């Protein structure tokens, strides 16, 4: 070897070596506090830190962590002025680690870092400095509520303004803000923040959230103008049935406190008090169901800028005595603007109406560009579908007007969008547009809670991919601060049954941790004194509207689901009383361990043919259902009591559960295991909730399968049976039947609506019938996520991503190829990092690619791999164990990327 070659050889080795050691370095990523990245306005006295490990080494587990917290980021980085050092904890916990330092103070921004070691002896550096900022504790709220003079009887939105003086240069400033109704804040002529529908919808009489906005670069030294616009929202506007208004109160008002920290270190608190003026402006009315009327001739131009003169017509706001209600930091993601859609076409319907199509049924609103004469009125109506003839169809909105009216000011091109309303729509009808309406004048913007998309699911089948897309859009459209049944008609309520049915799928698709943390608190707050849970949360249906099986069980199913998906033990602690109260209600309702009383929705919207002469309707006895959910909730309560170390409760409820099951068997099962309701839902619930004696389960699964076959491989389940149908089939070895149901294209099935052009999940299996006519106008939403609950099976059986310890600390990857699929790929961002399970079948071979995040372990089940020559990352594999039923090979693996190939 000549010298040069030799040198370059060493150089290459050196480079390779350093690249390798660089790549192997351990570091920390995905740092969050209370599920949020650098949040402000946290009011938990014990916030929790989470992080994930980044490493290229396989089989990595965290062996210890160390946290430090300070109030100065630069000093913290240098290891100085640390207010809390956790010390080294020899543990693999990296998710939801409690703060353990001195009491946290209102409005203080705390900075934090973490460093970790792993099982290979690597140590990370200190992580980047992240922060969280505390909100205002109850005692630190000193502002007054502000409202209009006299009774707030006008529909128009009041615009409040006030000027404030800032005497010194600012280091940091934060506004804390909430309202009765909805608010939009402006400072010095610009909108503050990108939140919509703030302060969100909670059980307002018990809990009111405030939001925090960073004003450090918004406020300036000298004179500043602040503007607040109020809308009716859920608080005062129309909500629930029967044209109900003022459910929570009749006076819109707001509360604001700004805390300014100057560069000299001093602090000042600016409070809402008597100095506010208000005036009515362009928003003449704005209602969630009915839409908005906006007269731009009445716009108060520049009203929130400092040079505006609030002269004639401006009135004095007044201090409002607000009922004492806990003011709470916001734990759920704010509603924000998301995807935008251009109109794909503007056309005339057979009736001669001008309609635009955005190609996607979405929830939000339109922007419309127009120029015309002052006083020209444009009305925009919203619809999800066109009827059989191609006409604009709004009957399914029932009494919701869902219409925006924009009045032009004649001053050139204007762009309109509403403020305190939202619509569920794919089509808009435009009337009164001046001139020629080009598609480019129209945009639709989706608005929903700002949840990260955590999951993806794609297969070789186009229709199935569309179904997944529809499920996701059903979620986006109905997760607008609360999980609603539908987003378009005069309803849009937090139906508990729908929410529990869809929860698991929701948690695969998106990060719903904060979203449901908030909603569960409202559930507990609105729970009736006897433990019964209202049908809708927040409850706007009044007293006595609750206690229905499968609906009220949201109180146990969702907290347990949150614990499983996110490893959140605190949710269980906080919801335990509510869970137990619901259990207590069911116990009180039952006699001899059987629950056979009260009103129930049952297996809502199950299959029933029109002229049912043969008795093919899939009716499941409501009390049979009640008994299964009673047992299920009891099981979840036992699980929870175990996690929380409540031994006595574990004993009491375990004894009860055995009795509930025997009572079920006595009442609803023959000695050979036939159920009194021989429906799919009957068998599915009995099997999924382990209601039957072990020895009679296999035959019950066979009965379920023959029932499915008797309907020509069609499902007949409603809201309660659907989520578990394929889960049960797979559990008992009938994944092939589950695939037949999934790929069924004729009614009733998941793909039937997809074939009919759906872009979201429908409320009914036959919202649009084969002949193009509609189901009952009175209840026919085209954006109702409940049946989208099949999504869970797609992730956990087709892609095969399942958890086996809370938060995916341990997981199972068990893909089950089937049907006509030749490939599938699922990914899930877990608290520990990204899990991937991808398979494809090619030339008689299956190729599997799996990623397991650091600090977790997985059990891999390679489908039909027994007795095959399996290559793992190119090397022949020696089987570790195999699963008899599925002829799988079971392997235990630590973190890393894995590639398998074998004959298939
Ligand atoms: C809602 C449902 C809800 C149901 C109760 C309907 O009006 O849209 O989704 O769960 O009532 O059965």
Helix (H, G, I), strand (E, B) or coil at 403: strand
Residue owning the nearest CA to atom 8 of ligand 1? 485
Say which residue the tokens 């269980």 belong to.
Answer: 572
CA-closest residue to ligand 1 atom 5: 601
The dihedral built from the CA positions of residue 236, 239, 240 and 242, taken in this order, carries a sign that is: positive
Distance of CA 386 to the CA centre of its chain: 29
What pLDDT shows up at residue 21? Answer: 43
CA-nearest residue for atom 2, ligand 1, is: 485
Query: Can you tell me the distance from the alpha carbon of 844 to that of 856, in angstroms, rounded to the nearest whole number?
Result: 32
Torsion sign across C-alpha atoms 612, 614, 617, 620: positive
SS3 519: helix
Tokens of 101: 């330092």
Rg of the chain taking only CA atoms, in angstroms: 29
Q: 896-903 and 845-852 as β-strands: parallel, antiparallel, unpaired?
A: antiparallel
Pairing of β 222-231 and β 158-166? antiparallel
Q: Which of 400, 424, 474, 485 most suits a substitution to test ligand 1, by most atoms within 8 Å of the C-beta? A: 485
Dump pLDDT digits (tens) for 237-295. Answer: 999 998 999 999 999 999 999 999 999 999 999 998 889 999 999 999 999 999 999 99
pLDDT bin (cut points 50, 70, 90) of residue 153 is very high
What is the percent of the chain where pLDDT is above 70?
96
The average pLDDT across 865-874 equals: 90
CA 110 vs CA 48, 68, 75, 424, 579: distances in Å: 13, 10, 12, 41, 34
Strands 158-166 and 277-280: antiparallel
Between CA 703 and CA 645 the distance in angstroms is 39
Nearest to 69 by CA among 37, 112, 39: 112
pLDDT tens for 553-565 read 999 999 999 999 9
Mean pLDDT of 315-331: 95
pLDDT tens-digit map of 61-104: 999 999 999 999 999 999 999 999 999 999 999 999 999 999 99
Q: What number is the average pLDDT over the span 649-670?
A: 98
**At residue 759, does pLDDT exceed 50?**
yes
pLDDT digits (tens, 9 = 90+) for 426-449: 999 999 999 999 999 999 999 999
Whole-number Cα distances in Å, 449 to 115, 187, 558, 733: 32, 24, 18, 38
Distance from C-alpha of 387 to C-alpha of 777, rounded to nearest angstrom? 12
Report the alpha-carbon distance of residue 195 to residue 211 in Å, rounded. 9
Cα 558 to middle of ligand 1, angstroms: 18
Which residue's CA is the closest to the ligand 1 atom numbered 3?
495
Model confidence at 15, in pLDDT bands (50, 70, 90)? very low
pLDDT on residue 881: 56
Provide the pLDDT for residue 549.
98
CB 537 within 8 A of CB 526: yes
Task: Name the helix (H) or strand (E) containing 43.
Answer: none
Q: In this model, does residue 192 exceed pLDDT 80?
A: yes
**Phi-psi region for residue 507, left (φ > 0), alpha (ψ -120 to 50) or beta?**
alpha
Cβ within 8 Å of residue 235, ≥6 positions away:
179, 180, 181, 182, 204, 247, 248, 249, 252
b/e per residue 170-207 (b: at least 16 CB within 10 A): bebbbbbbbbbbbbbbbbbeeebbebbbbbbbbbbeeb
Provide the pLDDT for residue 1: 38
Q: How far is the CA of 546 from the centre of ligand 1 (A)?
A: 12
Integer Cα distance of 653 and 208 in angstroms: 35
Q: What is the pLDDT of residues 337-357, one digit of tens each?
A: 999 999 999 999 999 999 999
Which residues, other chains included, contact 509 with Cβ-Cβ below 8 Å and sequence gap of 6+? 453, 454, 455, 471, 472, 475, 791
Could you tell me the distance, in angstroms and rounded to a whole number, from the CA of residue 495 to the centre of ligand 1? Answer: 6
Q: What is the reported pLDDT for 886?
A: 60
pLDDT score for 884:
57
Q: Token digits for 51?
A: 């992080």
Closest CA to 335 of 193, 181, 521, 180: 193
First-last CA distance in the chain: 48
- The residue length of the chain stands at 904
Q: What is the DSSP string of 300-314?
A: -TTTTSTT----TT-
What's the 182 CA to ligand 1 centre distance in angstroms? 26
**Average pLDDT, stretch 388-405?**
98
Q: Which atom of ligand 1 is nearest to the CA of 535?
A: 5
Query: In angstroms, rounded to a whole number, what is the distance separating the alpha carbons of residues 817 and 888?
Result: 12
Q: What is the best residue among 239, 483, 492, 498 to mutate for testing ligand 1's pocket, by most ligand atoms within 8 Å of CB?
A: 498
Distance 241 CA to ligand 1 centre (A): 12
For the four alpha carbons of 520, 525, 529 and 532, in that order, the dihedral sign comes to negative
> How distant is the alpha carbon of residue 319 from its chain centre?
37
Residue 882: the pLDDT is 58
The yes-or-no verdict on residue 688 having pLDDT over 80 is yes
Give the span between the Cα atoms of 730 and 709, in whole angstroms. 16
For residue 880, the model assigns a pLDDT of 61
Angle 599-621-652 from CA coordinates, rounded to 5°: 70
Q: How many CB atoms lie within 10 A of CB 396?
A: 24
* pLDDT (0 to 100) of residue 469: 98
- The closest of 878, 730, 713, 873 to 815, measured between CA atoms, is 730
pLDDT in tens, 566-600: 999 999 999 999 999 999 999 999 999 999 999 99
Nearest-CA residue for atom 12 of ligand 1:
601
SS3 helix, strand, coil % of the chain, rounded to 5?
25, 30, 45
Asked if 101 and 45 touch (Cβ cutoff 8 Å), the reply is no
- The mean pLDDT of 408-429, rounded to a whole number, is 98
Among 218-222, 526-530, 624-628, 885-889, the least confident range: 885-889
> Ligand 1 pocket: which of 604, 605, 776, 777 to mutate (most atoms <8 Å of CB)?
604
Contact 183, 174 (CB under 8 A): no
- Res. 392 pLDDT band, cuts 50 70 90: very high
Evaluate if residue 128 carries a pLDDT over 90. yes
Atom of ligand 1 nearest to the CA of 786: 9
List residues near ligand 1 (CB under 6 A).
Answer: 485-486, 491, 495, 497-498, 601, 604, 784
pLDDT digits (tens, 9 = 90+) for 689-700: 999 999 999 999
The residues near 306 (Cβ < 8 Å, ≥ 6 apart) are 163, 188, 189, 223, 224, 225
For residue 798, pLDDT over 90 is answered with yes
Count of CB atoms situated within 10 Å of the CB of 67: 23
Could you give the residue numbers annotated as active site? 491, 763
Question: Where are the extended beta strands (E) located within 403-475?
Answer: 403-407, 414-416, 423-431, 442-449, 455-459
Per-residue pLDDT tens for 435-491? 999 999 999 999 999 999 999 999 999 999 999 999 999 999 999 999 999 999 999
Q: Structural domains in the chain?
A: 26-134 (2.60.40.10), 138-286+300-329 (2.60.120.260), 335-449 (2.60.120.260), 455-799 (1.50.10.10), 802-903 (2.60.420.10)
**What angle is formed at CA 272 by the lines to CA 172 and CA 197, rounded to 5 degrees?**
80
Average model confidence (pLDDT) across the chain: 95
Q: What is the pLDDT of residue 866?
A: 85
Cα torsion for 865, 871, 876, 877, to the nearest 10°?
-50
pTM of structure: 0.96
Exposure on the CB side of residue 377, measured as CA atoms within 13 A: 8
| pLDDT at site 273 | 84
| % of the chain beyond a pLDDT of 90 | 94
**pLDDT at residue 619 is higher than 60:** yes
Residue 521 C-alpha to ligand 1 middle, in angstroms? 21
| Ligand 1 atom at shortest distance from the alpha carbon of 601 | 12
Strands (E), 739-887: 801-803, 810-813, 823-830, 833-842, 845-852, 857-862, 871-872, 875-876, 882-883
Q: Provide the pLDDT for residue 553.
A: 98
Rounded-to-integer distance, Cα 93 and Cα 87, Å? 14
């Amino acid at each position: 070897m000549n010298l040069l070659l030799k040198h370059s050889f060493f150089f290459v080795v050196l480079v390779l070596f350093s690249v390798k050691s660089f790549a192997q370095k351990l570091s920390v990523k995905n740092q969050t506090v209370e599920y949020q990245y650098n949040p402000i306005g946290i009011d938990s006295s014990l916030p929790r830190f989470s992080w994930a490990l980044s490493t290229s080494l396989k089989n990595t587990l965290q062996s210890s962590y160390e946290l430090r917290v300070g109030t100065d980021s630069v000093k913290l980085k240098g290891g100085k002025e640390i207010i809390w050092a956790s010390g080294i904890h020899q543990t693999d916990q990296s998710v939801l680690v409690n703060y353990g330092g001195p009491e946290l103070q209102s409005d203080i921004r705390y900075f934090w870092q973490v460093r970790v070691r792993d099982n290979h002896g690597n140590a990370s550096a200190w992580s980047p400095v992240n922060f969280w900022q505390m909100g205002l504790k109850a005692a630190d709220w000193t502002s007054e509520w502000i409202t209009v003079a006299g009774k707030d009887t006008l529909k128009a939105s009041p615009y409040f303004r006030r000027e404030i003086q800032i005497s010194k240069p600012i280091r940091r400033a934060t506004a804390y803000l909430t309202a009765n109704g909805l608010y939009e804040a402006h400072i010095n002529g610009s909108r503050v923040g990108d939140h919509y529908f703030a302060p969100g919808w909670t059980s307002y009489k018990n809990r009111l959230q405030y939001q925090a906005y960073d004003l450090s670069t918004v406020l300036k030294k000298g004179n500043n103008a602040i503007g607040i616009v109020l809308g009716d929202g859920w608080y005062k506007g129309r909500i629930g049935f029967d044209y109900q208004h003022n459910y929570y109160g009749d006076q819109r008002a707001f509360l604001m406190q700004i805390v300014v920290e100057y560069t000299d270190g001093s602090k000042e608190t600016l409070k809402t008090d008597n100095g506010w003026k208000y005036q009515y402006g362009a928003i003449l009315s704005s209602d969630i169901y009915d839409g908005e009327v906006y007269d731009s001739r009445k716009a108060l131009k520049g009203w929130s800028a400092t040079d505006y003169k609030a002269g004639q017509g401006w009135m004095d706001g007044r201090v409002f005595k607000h009922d004492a209600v806990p003011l709470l930091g916001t734990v759920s993601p704010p509603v924000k603007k998301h995807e935008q859609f251009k109109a794909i076409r503007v056309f005339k319907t057979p009736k001669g109406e001008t309609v635009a199509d955005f190609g996607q049924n979405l929830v939000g609103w339109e922007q419309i560009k127009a120029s015309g004469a002052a006083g020209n009125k444009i009305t925009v109506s919203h619809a999800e579908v066109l009827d059989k003839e191609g006409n604009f169809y709004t009957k399914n909105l029932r009494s919701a007007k869902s219409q925006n009216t924009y009045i032009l000011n004649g001053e050139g091109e204007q762009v309109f969008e509403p403020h305190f309303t939202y619509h569920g729509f794919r089509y808009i009808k435009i009337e009164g547009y001046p001139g020629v309406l080009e598609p480019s004048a129209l945009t639709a913007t989706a608005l929903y809670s700002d949840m990260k998309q955590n999951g993806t699911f794609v297969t070789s089948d186009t229709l199935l991919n569309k179904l997944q897309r529809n499920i996701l859009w059903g979620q986006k459209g109905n997760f607008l601060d609360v999980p609603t049944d539908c987003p378009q008609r005069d309803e849009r309520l937090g139906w508990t049954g729908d929410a529990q049915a869809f929860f698991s799928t929701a948690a695969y698709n998106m990060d719903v941790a904060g979203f449901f943390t908030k909603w569960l608190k409202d559930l507990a707050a609105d729970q009736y004194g006897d433990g019964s849970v209202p049908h809708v949360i927040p409850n706007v249906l009044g007293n006595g509207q609750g206690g229905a099986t499968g609906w009220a069980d949201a109180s146990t199913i969702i907290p347990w689901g949150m614990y499983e998906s996110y490893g959140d033990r605190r949710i269980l602690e906080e919801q335990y009383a509510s869970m137990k109260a619901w259990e207590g209600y069911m116990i009180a309702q039952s006699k001899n361990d059987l629950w056979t009383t009260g009103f129930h929705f049952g297996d809502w919207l199950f299959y029933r043919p029109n002229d049912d002469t043969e008795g093919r309707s899939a009716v499941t006895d409501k009390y049979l259902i009640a008994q299964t959910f009673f047992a299920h909730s009891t099981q979840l309560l036992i699980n929870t009591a175990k996690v929380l170390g409540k031994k006595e409760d574990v004993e009491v409820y375990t004894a009860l559960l055995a009795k509930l099951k025997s009572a079920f068997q006595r009442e609803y099962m023959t000695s050979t295991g036939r159920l009194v309701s021989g429906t799919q839902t009957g068998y599915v619930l009995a099997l999924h909730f382990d209601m039957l004696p072990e020895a009679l389960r296999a035959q019950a699964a066979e009965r379920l399968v023959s029932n499915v076959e008797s309907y020509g491989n069609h499902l007949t389940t409603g809201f309660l049976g659907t989520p578990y149908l394929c889960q049960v089939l797979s559990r008992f070895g009938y994944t092939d039947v589950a695939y037949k149901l999934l790929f069924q294209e004729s009614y009733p099935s998941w793909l039937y609506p997809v074939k009919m052009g759906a872009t979201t999940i429908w409320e009914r299996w036959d919202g649009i019938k084969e002949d193009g006519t509609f189901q009952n106008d009175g209840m026919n939403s085209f954006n109702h996520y409940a049946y989208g609950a099949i999504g869970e099976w797609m992730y956990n059986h087709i892609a095969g991503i399942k958890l086996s310890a809370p938060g995916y600390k341990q997981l199972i990857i068990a893909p089950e190829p089937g049907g006509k699929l030749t490939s599938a790929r699922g990914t899930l961002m877990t608290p520990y990092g990204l899990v991937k399970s991808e398979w494809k079948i090619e030339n008689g071979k299956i190729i599997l690619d799996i990623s397991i995040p650091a600090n977790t372990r997985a059990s891999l089940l390679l489908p039909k791999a027994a007795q095959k020559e399996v290559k793992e990352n190119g090397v022949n594999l020696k089987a570790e164990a195999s699963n008899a039923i599925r002829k799988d090979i079971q392997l235990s693996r630590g973190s890393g990327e894995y590639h398998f190939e074998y004959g298939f």
